[in-house]
Amino acid sequence: MSSNKWYSGKTQVFWTCKALLDGRTISHKTEIREVRGWRLGAIICRLKREYGWPIRVEYRGPENIAHYWLDRDCDRSKLRFPRSACELAEVV
C-alpha cells in the first residue's frame, strides 16, 4: 500500500464518502457529472449494509431519482470506512 493510504486511488467510493461527510446531498446525476461514475446505488447499499452508515434517501421528480445524504445526527467518529476511503477517517 502506498504511503498516502490509497487502496485503489481516488475512487468513486472515496468520492461518495467525502461528499456525504461534507454534508452534501448527492444523486446519480451528481456522480456522473463529477466523477463519471455509474455505481452510486451499489456504493450506497454497501456503505449502509457492510459499514453501517446512516444514509438517508429521498426519491424526487417524475423519474423518481434517488438523492442520498448522511444523517446529520450520526456520530462520525464511529463510522467505519472502506479501504479506498480510510484516509477520510483521519479528518472526521
Domains of the chain, earliest start first: 12-90 (1.10.10)
Q: What is the pLDDT of residue 37?
A: 85
- Is the pLDDT assigned to residue 14 strictly greater than 50? yes
Structure confidence at residue 1 (pLDDT): 40
- Tell me the average pLDDT of the chain: 88
The pTM for the full model equals 0.84
Q: What are phi and psi of 86, to 5 degrees?
A: -60, -30
Query: Using one digit for the tens of pLDDT, what is the confidence trace for 34-69?
Result: 988 889 999 999 999 999 999 999 999 999 999 999
Contact of 17 with 47, CB cutoff 8 Å: yes
